[in-house]
Amino acid sequence: MIDTAWRQVRHGLAVASGRHIRPEDVSALVTQLRATLDEFGDVNDEQFSEAMARPLDPDIRQRMKEKGWRRTAQNAGRTTTFYGDLFNDLGVDLDDLTLDNLDAVPPTSKAALRSRPSDFVSSAARPALRATTTGTTGRPAVCWFSTYELDLAAAYSAIAYLAVNRLRNEDLVTICVSGRSVVAVRSMLRALEMAGVASQFVGVIDPQQALFNLSQPIGVRGKKDKPSVLITCPSYLGALLDTARAGRFSSTDFQLEQILCGGEVLTAHLKQEAEGFFGARVTEAYAMTETFPMTGMACGSGHLHFASDTGLVETLDPDSLTPARPGSIGVLVMTPFIPYRETTVVLRMVTGDLVRVLDQSDLGCELSGLEATSLPLGREGLRPSIDAERIFERDILELLHGEPPIPLAVSYGIEPDGNEVILHIGSPCPPPLIDRLELEATRRGLPVKRVIGHRNPSSIPHRMLNRALLRETIPVRHDALGTWELR
């Protein structure tokens, strides 16, 4: 019955009046799911997945989306200064908004949110948490959240942890995410708690210490022998692999079964390496603070799928911000719907994340009932402005990850040079490696003119920042010497 209940929550409540969904109702579903698991050991996974991904009747889906969009835009216009002023200036008729005239509301840039954060806060909400983004993709943005929207999102995540990721009471989930990603961390901890799954927050610390933690027996009755699930971002996963291989760790030191990864580009190579070394399945997801609680999930065919009930996802041409055609490059533009998002309200938020637009009629995967794009290609702001072929973070990372002498968590920078780029790598590169990289770049059709290796990553021009660099300092004791060191 749990799949039926899920459908009711997903489709029934979401198309309701737009009034608050009671987080307690969703929590009750979590409790029901846990009881089913306790009694029968498992839910009918197939039924559940099918219920989640079932293609909605296209007409119903369109109607739901249109209602969600209109209601969200009306709320934004009536309760926020930013959209109130904007709609006044443009003469937008709030009752006349449809999916056919989305362009009546211009896309919102991250710069607008960064410069006027308070003007996006709804006067109807009760702000309880002020979150600042980590800033690896530009100047940090400020978003406010209410207890209601955080609790509701946590309850939905708890269901996903139990039914999709199949986490259980005997698991121990280790969270290696920056503590400054406060919304993500708060949501994970609360959701795991609701799901009855044990967790530990480790953060982005010296990889050696994180690996030590992951390799230690738990020693608590009812739990697995060692941490079984890791939640992290791709660059830190790369750092863990680099350190494990360079040091005294081997695959047999760990008993990870799943690695949940998100927040950055995850290359096919890194995924394969992590699965090979840890013997754990790597699952990729997409989310960002500004568009919370919308989530994209990767399917087995390498698409990124979005459920249409929590918000509107558009793929627009990065230059003209008009709808991008299948096969072309688009920037993800997202509108989280009320009642899932109610405090810092954003409409048609230009995320800056680039994807390839897919033909929705030709997905042919297990999640084909949900709209999809390609996996993220990289960030728009960091794409160098050259006239030649576009070059994406994913292209560069796939190129670098294909060369074992280069660390997986390597820093790099892309310097425009005419119609090509100079690729700066934060790792010493002997001439044969440079030759191989330049040759491989040409073979892949990348406009890379030259590759330069740097012993000191801080000397890299146009350096890209990744989340593994958000290192938190911790004290480490050297028992033999009786001394302490900050790492």
Site residues (vs Zn ion, CB under 5 A): 299, 301, 303, 365, 367
- As given in the structure block, the two tokens for residue 337 are 């719907």
Bridge-based pairing of strands 281-286 and 258-262 is parallel
Please say which residue, 105 or 299, places its beta carbon nearer to Zn ion: 299
**At its nearest, how many Å lie between Zn ion and the CB of residue 430?**
41
Q: How far apart are CA 156 and CA 46, in angstroms?
A: 19
- C-alpha 9: how far from its chain's center? 23
In the block, tokens 């209940």 appear at 5
Please say which residue, 50 or 66, places its beta carbon nearer to Zn ion: 50
**At its nearest, how many Å lie between Zn ion and the CB of residue 299?**
3
308 CB neighbour count, 10 Å cutoff: 18
Q: Which amino acid is at 365?
A: C
Nearest-CA neighbor of 419 among 448, 445, 387?
A: 387
16 CB neighbour count, 10 Å cutoff: 12
**At its nearest, how many Å lie between Zn ion and the CB of residue 358?**
9
Please say which residue, 123 or 361, places its beta carbon nearer to Zn ion: 361
Please say which residue, 356 or 467, places its beta carbon nearer to Zn ion: 356
**At its nearest, how many Å lie between Zn ion and the CB of residue 355?**
13
**At its nearest, how many Å lie between Zn ion and the CB of residue 394?**
17
Please say which residue, 215 or 308, places its beta carbon nearer to Zn ion: 308
Please say which residue, 367 or 410, places its beta carbon nearer to Zn ion: 367
Q: How far apart are CA 226 and CA 245, in angstroms?
A: 19
**At its nearest, how many Å lie between Zn ion and the CB of residue 300?**
7
The enclosing H or E element of 130 equals strand 127-132
Q: How far apart are CA 373 and CA 315, in angstroms?
A: 8
Q: How far apart are CA 311 and CA 366, in angstroms?
A: 21
Q: Which amino acid is at 264?
A: E
Please say which residue, 328 or 360, places its beta carbon nearer to Zn ion: 360
Q: How far apart are CA 58 and CA 317, in angstroms?
A: 24
Overall size of the chain counted in residues: 487
**At its nearest, how many Å lie between Zn ion and the CB of residue 238?**
25
**At its nearest, how many Å lie between Zn ion and the CB of residue 370?**
8
- Output the CA–CA distances (angstroms, integers) from residue 17 to 67, 70, 224, in the order listed: 9, 12, 44
Please say which residue, 299 or 391, places its beta carbon nearer to Zn ion: 299
Q: How far apart are CA 264 and CA 393, in angstroms?
A: 10
Residues 198/225, Cβ–Cβ less than 8 Å: no
